[in-house]
Structure 1
Amino acid sequence: MSKFLFVVPRFHTNLFFATKALVQAGHQVKVFAAKREPTEDYSFVTPQVVGRDSSPRDLRHDLKAFAPDLVILRTARPLSRWVEGAGRFGRLPMLRYDQKAMSELPAFRDVLERAVQGLPQWRVTPKPARHGVASIDPRAHYLPWPVARDPEVPVRQRQPDAPLAVLCVGKLMQQRKGQHKLIAAMAAGLAEGRMTLTLVGSTLGSVRDADPDHLDSLRRAAAASQGRITLKENLDFGDMGSVYGQHDVCVLPAAREQLGTAPIEAMAYGCVPVIGGRCGSAGYLTDGVDGHVVSMDHPEVLTAVLDRLAKDPAQLSQMSAAARHTAETELGPARFVQRMEQLVARPKG
């Protein structure tokens, strides 16, 4: 069995499923994180927080003691620089993590600088090549984060005459998450009782571009909705499985998002994902089969997609089954563990 180390800004939800899968497969896993946040789940791995006040010497000692077979290194300064420094010129088997697509080629100058400094040249990314782009970065490995259903959450059995239960997960203080656009696109469906909407997210004021007015507007919309819009603020990650299991559709209405994992996590529960075309996780979907990829610049398109799903239970059921299949196979824990084991076994150099 192998020893894996993840170096990250924080213990994101996608890392929970990844570390759980590796631990359950018998591997040893450590996480160095620059900070913690209140809603993180440490059921399988507890991150070691290495902040700005930590000692680089102690970090080097911990690295030597653990002796990882592979380090997945995401930018989290100064932590990631300390780890890079300790592992220069191959002293540690490191792969950089970024969210650039497989088809995005690095600048020659960046490749040369990293080579001169003895820093890792190879990278992993959760984003596949952009549609229609033939070029592939020869130094990139595709590594989508896994998702999995909580076995204690039953598969949703939707009644044919029930309203379409729509979910949106995203920080409630950030206007760029687009919850207001989703409410506007669903206006008729909500007013006519054909749809319901649940908005889930944190209200941390420390997030970038925090906008209290945006949160207030969402609260007002919920209060005026006659119970058709529900806000769930600051849920623990462990509660998300039951939330996913109570919904038919999960929408990511942001115009642009580097990845966007909530709709992908929801797929494991048969929740049909509807994702903006400029969000990274849209690349996981086969449009019209296991989800929908839409342009969030045209709200009428989102309205039409949700209307079709609300009016056609058979199509909704078919797409729900396809979403679960994608989550359980290509995006499942077993496939992730296989990919990680292949990374350890890959030829070096």
Structure 2
Amino acid sequence: MSLRAADISPLRVHLLPISMHFLYTAPRYHTNQHYPVTALLEAGHQVTFLVLRRGRTETYDALEPVVLGCSPVFDVLRRVASLIPGIAYWDTGGLPPILRFVSEVRARRPSAMVVRDPRSAYGLLAMLVAKLIRAHLILYSQSARNVDPKSSNRALVRMLRRVTHASWFSPMRGDGAGDGPVAYLPFVMPTQVSPEQKQWYAGDCVNLLAIGMFVPRKNHCLFVDAVAELSRRYRVRAKIVGECSTEAHYEELHKVRQQCRRLGLEDNVQVELNVAFADMRRHYSDHDVFVLASRDEPAAVSPLEAMAHCLPVVCSDSNGTSCYIRPGENGFVFRTDDVDDLVSCLDRVVANREVLIEMGRRSHELVGTEHAPSRYVDTVVRMASPSP
């Protein structure tokens, strides 16, 4: 379904910009879209989100997505493709029932379609339909290959933009930011806890927070190793919050708990599973430093959420949104999979409590200046507006 912002009095219509209808297509309604969608609705625009499936930890406070499901025919083809060595079942993408998708789009007549993963089967279908109904086309991707100036993908991106006359943005900043075919539009959200309200050092400890589902690439065991080393010199406690809903997740959870027992950290490292989006605010507020130890993270939104709660952030250099961190100002970026470098970065944050608090203030400030929701609204409205 689509949502419309609150009815506007006719006496005020001339003071407000023309309302647009943005229709998004994506595999699911990820929580990193909650604040952009909320901002568009509050600005008086309409938003529809067409997805293939629901996720476990999504929030629908602003919008209820339309779940299309996967085309049975495509699902069979995908299962066959997954039998080919080197191709996983989910790697082959997804495609909604085509007639239903076309019907949903035509019924809504959007001003613009915002298409996630334009090179996927679903993305290609959405681009075709956008051109057929003459909606403005905005492409959105979270692949480092599209923003890296050294990537061969850049030529493909330029060609695709020329053919489709589309705008294209990413929440990741490439080394050649501003010069490439993909515009930089970071994740956005309002600031949450102000520096004046923030409560620090509960239990007279430095409280570390890590977030991520229980899969090997999230590097929770690396985080535990770092906590063990820091515990030799500081009073620290840690918490890992993550999704655990499959057999593979529980296997990884077992490894993490074994690691904690082996290092004698059962009382220092707490684990919480399947925490709802609305409850995450409490966890951010209760901690002092956020750590994202994962490898090959496409574009994590959790560092920004932590920054909005006045937390310094330490994350790996293979996280696509590591560009949100100003090393030495609001955190540090460490070499992926290097526990010694992670410990060194954390040392520089936790050694001086006054410095830590100042880094938290800087995180809060950066959210307000670089990640304000109005930035997102202004950019996508401009992309969706006819050229003069």
Q: Same fold, TM exceeding 0.5?
A: yes
Give CA-to-partner distance per residue, 1:57-102, whole Å, 9 cap, x none.
Answer: 2322321232222211013865433322212367221122112354
Indicate the structure with greater helix content: 2
Letter in 2 for 1:265: E
Match of 1:140?
182
Deviation larger for 2-11 or 304-313: 304-313
Residue aligning to 2:54: 36
Where does residue 16 of structure 1 map in the other structure?
Answer: 34
Summarize deviations over 1:301-328 as a string: whole Å, max 9, x none. 2112222322201111111000001112
Q: Which residue of 2 aligns with 1:91?
A: 134
Q: Do structure 1's residue 190 and structure 2's residue 228 form an aligned pair?
A: no
Q: Could you tell me which amino acid in structure 1 is paired with residue 167 of structure 2?
A: W
1:254 to 2:297 alignment:
no
Aligned to 2:211: 169
CA distance in 2, matches of 1:40, 1:11: 7
Instruction: Give the whole-Å Cα distance in 2 for the aligned partners of 1:114 and 1:312.
Output: 49
Alignment of 1:245-324 (within 5 A): 245-324=285-364
**Alpha-carbon distance in 2 for matches of 1:189, 1:312:** 13
Looking at structure 2, the residues matched to 236 and 337 of structure 1 have their Cα atoms a distance apart, in angstroms, of 26
Q: 1:195 to 1:282 in 2, by over 3 A?
A: same
- Between 178-187 and 99-108, report the one with greater CA deviation: 99-108
CA distance in 2, matches of 1:126, 1:303: 28
Give the gaps of 5 or more residues in structure 1: none
| Secondary structure at 1:266 match in 2 | helix
Gap change, CA 1:343 and 1:306, over 3 Å in 2: same
Asked if the contact 2:113–2:137 (Cα under 8 Å) also holds between the matched residues in 1, the reply is yes
Distance 1:214 1:80, change over 3 A: same
Residue from 236, 253, 256 that aligns with 1:215 = 253
How many residues get paired?
A: 339
- State the one-letter code of the partner of 1:142: Y
1:202-227 CA distances to partner (integer Å, 9 max, x unpaired)? 01228xxx354321022334565242
Q: Where does residue 6 of structure 2 map in the other structure?
A: none
The residue aligned with 1:203 is 244
Instruction: Find the counterpart in structure 2 of residue 126 from structure 1.
Output: 171
Secondary structure in structure 1 of the residue aligned to 2:24: strand
Tell me by how many angstroms 1:154 deviates: 8.9
**Measured at CA, do residues 280 and 107 of structure 1 come closer, stay the same or move farther in structure 2, by a change above 3 Å?**
closer
Q: Is 1:62 matched up with 2:104? A: yes
Structure 2 residue aligned with 1:229, among 269, 273, 276? Answer: 269
Secondary structure of the residue that 2:321 maps to in structure 1? helix
Length-normalised TM-score, structure 1: 0.87
Q: Give 1:187 shift.
A: 0.7
Secondary structure class of the residue paired with 1:41: coil
Bigger mean CA offset, 56-65 vs 194-203: 56-65
CA separation of 1:6 and 1:333: change in aligned 2, threshold 3 A = same
Question: For 2:194 and 2:362, how far apart are their aligned partners in 1?
Answer: 21
How much does 1:110 deviate? 6.3
The answer to whether the Cα contact below 8 Å between 2:161 and 2:168 also exists between their aligned partners in 1 is no
Match of 2:284 in 1: 244
Instruction: Encode CA deviations 1:82-128: one digit per residue, 9 max, x unaligned.
Output: 3222123672211221123544464546655776xx54553211111
- Would the aligned equivalents of 1:155 and 1:245 in 2 still touch at CA under 8 Å? no
Q: 1:290 to 1:109 in 2, by over 3 A?
A: closer
3-state SS of 1:264 partner: helix
What SS does the aligned partner of 2:64 have?
coil
- CA deviations over 1:232-261 (Å, ceiling 9, x no partner): 100111111111111111111113211111
Pair 32,228 (structure 1): closer, same or farther in 2 beyond 3 Å: same
TM-score w.r.t. the length of structure 2 is 0.79
Cα distance in 2 between the residues matched to 1:99 and 1:294: 21
Equivalents in 1 of 2:185, 2:213: separation in Å? Answer: 25
